Amino acid sequence: MGYDKRLDGRKFDETRPIEAKVGVIKNADGSGWFRIGKSTAYAAVYGPKNLYPKFLANPKRGVLRCHYNMMPFSGMGNRVRPGTNRRAKEISMVTANALLPILDLSDFPNSVVDVYIELPETDAGSRCAGICAASLALADAGFLMKDLACSVAVGKVDDKVVVDLDYAEEAYECDAGVADIPLCIFPQSKKISLLQMDGILSPESLKEAMEAGMIAAEKIYDIQKAALKAKYEGD
Amino acid sequence: MNKDYVHKLAEKDTRIDGRKFDEYRQPISIETDVSSTADGSALVTIGDTQVMAGVKMELGTPYSDAPDQGTLMINVELLPLSHPRFDPGPPSIQAIELARVIDRGIRESHSIDTHKLCVTPGEKVWTVIVDICPINDAGNLFDAGALAAIAAIKNTKLPAIKDGIIDYKNKTDEGLPLAHTPLSCTVLKIGNKLVVDPLSEEEESYESRLTVATTEKDELCALQKGGEEPLTIDEVDTMVKLAIAKTKELRKFL
Amino acid sequence: MGNILVKEKQIVVPGEILAKGMDYLPGIGTYREGENIHAARVGLTYIDGRALKLIPLAGKYQPKKGDTIIAKVKDIMFSGWSCTTNSAYQAMMNVKDATSEFIPRGADLSQIYQIGDYVVGKIVTVTSQKLIDLSMKGPGLRRLHGGRIVYVTPSKVPRIIGKKGSMVSMIKQATGCKIIVGQNGMIWLSGEEPKNVLLAVKTIEMIESKAHISGLTDIIKQWLEKETGQKIIPKGDENGL
């Protein structure tokens, strides 16, 4: 039978509705807000600033630290106990690795740039929303960046490659199973800086999914671009 | 320098942003249903300060001395994204004080009728957990946080119970049994002037402060004095009267 | 063959393609990848002959030799004072650079500058590891008394000062305030009337938010005339000190 129609009626290559804003947190050096479907992320950048302890510092360039956190009421089930956990630590690390290739922190030796990502609600694709918000925040803060980071989860539900799975699709029970692939893409160079997978998938389907992700990333870039420009327009 | 400046301005009957001593910042707004995963949520804005609060309902066991009453927990997470001085990690004493003071206002006024939150006496009751998270701290987290908490509680709809456990996917139309809506107003003493709705710069340069929580009936339901300088009875009385009057204004936004 | 895709003074974002082909050169804030020149930050385009440059619209202060900055004394050591500079780096002010007067060996340094003092200083050196030497010897360099400090984005400082100080002198004229603008985005204001100081602060905030708009000097002149009811005569003023 196969997965003929998506649970929420979207096209297979269609993302959920996306909204983006920058400059939403005045205290921060740069900030972003990114919503895809019901996954929403705030990101705030503080830095470059002094780094303690000194042994963590890099004399050639600034160090990027990402902190991903779900607000206690942002889970689909029980309250999420505050404080960090292994999943959050891993996501924080892959988020930093996803952003580093486009970031030039060589003007800031021995310093640190902290990016805080907080999610008030999640419906799958939360780490991707976090990366998109972080990318906006870093650009808003004025850092040298070769590109913007456009992150979205692609995957396969039963026999169809899909873009931007929501929670219902991730949990969908079907014969061939579900594969969920968070991606982060740099649209100018068409390169991938985040690639993870949950599920089971053939190499051919992976390639098809990544290509679908490339196209979705271009749309995300346009939305991020508009959000960054909107701050200066309307004058 | 900014600390002296705050005092100098107070002597001249004005403030850093030109407000009167008893004036709230603008805009003030409350947006509800800001989190689709929370059972109730609100985003409060007072000037540049923004605080989000979310409620999660859980099923738990009651306290042995209150077997037919639901339980309540108020928590504050001072998110590092809201101010450069907040670090990630366990709650600081500032977060603990905020949470406990806001908790007392809500708990002591019996604003939630916890008798109505009993599922099976002695065994199973509803637990209301409110998490208050600043998004941008530009001063006055006490009042913004208390307002966000009550707005989120008011916005809450109970999730359905299926086979004795919560089915978060299905929400009922039933709200929380809210008997009172306590709000707080924090008054700062700067020099010998009394100031309401402080900015961060004012919070770094006051002599003493008094947070006063009141119900819609103008009854006091929580008090917290802070700061290094003591207060006289008359000063407390004046601050309380000012707080009651200002809370009335804030209440219009609920 | 080449193709420029943007106008002058257009706002662009990281990665955005500014020009195709080899006719143009990638200037500051841009980079070349193959046939294309891309933006390397959020910025305002500036076409300088064949070079495409970007003026930054945000970014933390990067200390530069010769800059006049406002710094805050953080610590007193044997050889001088360490100061914060509104950047990721601290500045060191040595005893020999502290004032034009002679300071005897073993003198109590806190008598000269105390922790928490704000000073106007000049950056003498910046090493590759961003160690900064600050000097207080020079015209207009001194400790600041009273007043208040506001913070702006450093890239907007030239707009706030204006050509030959024309913008900041308009604000001084309209509000009667003393104003010192540090290249590091810290601005010191002092005035008798609090509402005039507040007007100066609001004007600075307005310039900051409209820095990318042309004709800003006229907009600010009209705003100040409206707020104060006086006529403003714009004039030049050496370096806003």
Residue C84 pairs in a beta bridge with C72, C90
Peptide bond into C194 cis (omega under 30): no
Instruction: Give B-chain residues touching A74 at CB under 8 angstroms.
Output: 35, 37-38, 54
Structure tokens at B248: 């009335």
Q: What's the confidence (pLDDT) of residue C104? A: 82
Per CB-CB distance under 8 Å, the chain B contacts of C116 are 1
- The model's confidence at residue A129, banded by pLDDT at 50, 70 and 90, is very high
CATH number of the domain encompassing residue B169: 3.30.230.70
Contact B167, B161 (CB under 8 A): yes
Res C209 pLDDT > 50:
yes
Contacts of C41 in chain A (CB under 8 A): 139, 142-145
| Domains of chain C, CATH where assigned | 2-56 (2.40.50.100), 68-144 (2.40.50.140), 148-228 (3.30.1370.10)
Q: Residues of C numbered 98-157 whose beta carbons fall under 8 angstroms of chain A's beta carbons: which are they? A: 128-130, 153, 155
- C3 falls in which pLDDT band (50, 70, 90)? confident
Q: What is the mean pLDDT of chain B?
A: 95
C contacts of A188 (beta carbons < 8 Å)? 15, 17, 33, 38
Rounding to the nearest 10 degrees, give the CA dihedral for residues B161, B162, B168, B173.
-50
What percent of chain B has a predicted confidence (pLDDT) above 70?
A: 100
Angstrom distance (rounded) from CA B109 to CA B105 = 6
Per the structure, how many domains does chain A have?
1
What pLDDT, on the 0 to 100 scale, is given for residue C240?
Answer: 46
A44: CATH:
3.30.230.70
* Single-letter residue type at A122: T
For chain C, the average pLDDT equals 92
Mean pLDDT of the region B169-194: 95
Q: pLDDT band at residue B1, thresholds of 50, 70 and 90?
A: low
pLDDT at residue number C1: 55
Question: A30 at the C interface (CB within 8 A)?
Answer: yes
Task: Please say if the pLDDT value at position A235 is more than 60.
Answer: no
Report strand pairing: A160-163 vs A150-157. Answer: antiparallel
- Compute the nearest-CA separation of C69 from chain A (Å): 18
pLDDT of residue B69: 96
Q: Is B6 on the interface with C (CB under 8 A)?
A: no
C147 contact B CB<8A: yes
Residue C241 has pLDDT above 50, yes or no: no
Cβ <8 Å between C60 and A48: yes
Put simply, the chain A residues between 71 and 130 with a CB less than 8 A from any chain C CB are 102, 104, 107-111
**Can you give the pLDDT at residue C59?**
95
What is the percent of chain B with per-residue pLDDT over 90, rounded to a whole number? 96
Range of the domain at B208: 2-251
B84 at interface of C, judged by CB pairs closer than 8 A: no
| Per-residue model confidence (pLDDT) at position A103 | 98
Question: Which chain A residues are closer than 8 Å to B34 by Cβ?
Answer: 120-121
Which chain B residue's Cα is nearest to C147? B5
Confidence class of residue C53 from pLDDT cuts 50, 70 and 90? very high
- Chain B residue closest in CA terms to A122: B37
- Confidence (pLDDT) at C239: 47
pLDDT score of C238 more than 70: no
Contact B2 C195 (CB under 8 A): no
The two tokens of residue A201 are: 């998938």
Chains that touch B (3 or more CB pairs under 8 A): A, C
Nearest CB to B14; choose among C118, C146, C194: C194
ipTM for this prediction: 0.95
What is the average per-residue pLDDT within C200-208?
A: 96
> How many structural domains are present in chain B?
1
Contact list in C for residue A232 (CB cut-off 8 A) is 11, 57, 212
Q: What is the pLDDT of residue A108?
A: 96
For residue C214, what pLDDT is reported? 84
Task: Judge contact between A213 and A152, C-beta under 8 A.
Answer: yes
Taking an 8 Å cut-off on Cβ atoms, the answer to whether B41 and A75 are in contact is: no
| Chain B residues close to A75, C-beta within 8 Å | 37
Q: What chain A residue is nearest to C213 in terms of C-alpha separation?
A: A235
Residue type, B165: I
pLDDT for the residue A234 = 63
DSSP codes of every residue in B158-224: EEEEETTEEEEEEEEEEE--B----EEEEEEEETTEEEES--HHHHTS-SEEEEEEE-TTS-EEEEE
Q: Residue C236: its pLDDT value, please? A: 57
Write out residues 17-56 of B within 8 Å (CB-CB) of C: 17-18
Does a cis peptide bond (omega within 30 degrees of 0) precede residue A120?
no
Out of A78, A82, A121, whose CB is closest to B58? A78
Tens digits of residue pLDDT in B31-70: 999 999 999 999 999 999 999 999 999 999 999 999 999 9
- Domain of residue A56, residue span: 18-228
Residue A48, domain member (yes or no): yes
The answer, for C214 touching chain A at a CB cutoff of 8 Å, is no
| Burial bucket for residue B48 (CB in 10 Å: 0-12, 13-18, 19+) | middle
Report the residue from C116, C146, C198 with minimal CB separation from B18: C198
CA B119 to chain A, closest CA, distance in angstroms equals 18
Its pTM stands at 0.96
Taking only the tens place, the pLDDT of each residue in C155-173 is 999 999 999 999 999 999 9
Quick check: C88 and A62 CB within 8 A?
Answer: yes
Distance from CA of B78 to the nearest CA of A (A): 11
Q: Is A144 on the interface with C (CB under 8 A)?
A: yes
**Largest pairwise CA distance in chain A:** 60
How does pLDDT run across A48-84, given as a tens digit for each residue?
A: 999 988 899 999 999 999 999 999 999 999 999 999 9
**pLDDT tens across C123-158, in order?**
999 999 999 999 999 999 999 999 999 999 999 999
Top residue of C193, C198, C199, C204 to mutate, by most chain B CBs within 10 Å, is: C198
Give per-residue pLDDT as tens, C96-130. Answer: 898 878 888 778 888 889 999 999 999 999 999 99
- For residue A67, the chain B residues in CB contact (below 8 A) are 80, 88
Chains in contact with A, where contact means 3 or more Cβ–Cβ distances below 8 Å, are: B, C
